[in-house]
């Protein structure tokens, strides 16, 4: 299951949540504590959103949305 590291009020996280909903993908939301960010977030520069899709870890909402579309939206064109 995809893990989404996020801030509830972040518009970039909202963009990823919307794509996950659009593609009907189950995921786990992990609310990040701004004062004590987990290593997975810190290692990618400290910003959210970050996803972990069974070891495929990435940040940047535009990249995440593209990845989700390619992997889950267009089943015949997987480039990941």
Query: What does pTM read for this prediction?
Result: 0.89
Considering the domain 2-73 in this protein, what is its CATH number? 3.40.30.10
Q: What pLDDT shows up at residue 16?
A: 98
Give the whole-angstrom CA distance, residue 6 versus residue 54: 17
The domain spans of the chain are 2-73
Of residues 5 and 76, which shows the higher confidence score? Answer: 5
pLDDT score of 76 more than 50: no
Place of tokens 């593609």: 23
Tokens encoding 45: 């520069």
Q: What pLDDT shows up at residue 27?
A: 98
pLDDT in tens, 9-58: 999 999 999 999 999 999 999 999 999 999 999 999 999 999 999 999 99
């Amino acid at each position: 299951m995809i893990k989404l590291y996020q801030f509830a009020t972040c518009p970039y996280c909202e963009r990823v949540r919307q794509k996950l909903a659009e593609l009907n993908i189950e995921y786990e939301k992990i609310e990040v504590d701004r004062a004590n960010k987990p290593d997975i977030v810190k290692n990618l520069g400290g910003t959210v959103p970050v996803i972990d899709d069974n070891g495929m870890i990435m940040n940047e909402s535009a990249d995440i949305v593209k990845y989700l579309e390619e992997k889950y939206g267009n089943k015949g064109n997987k480039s990941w």
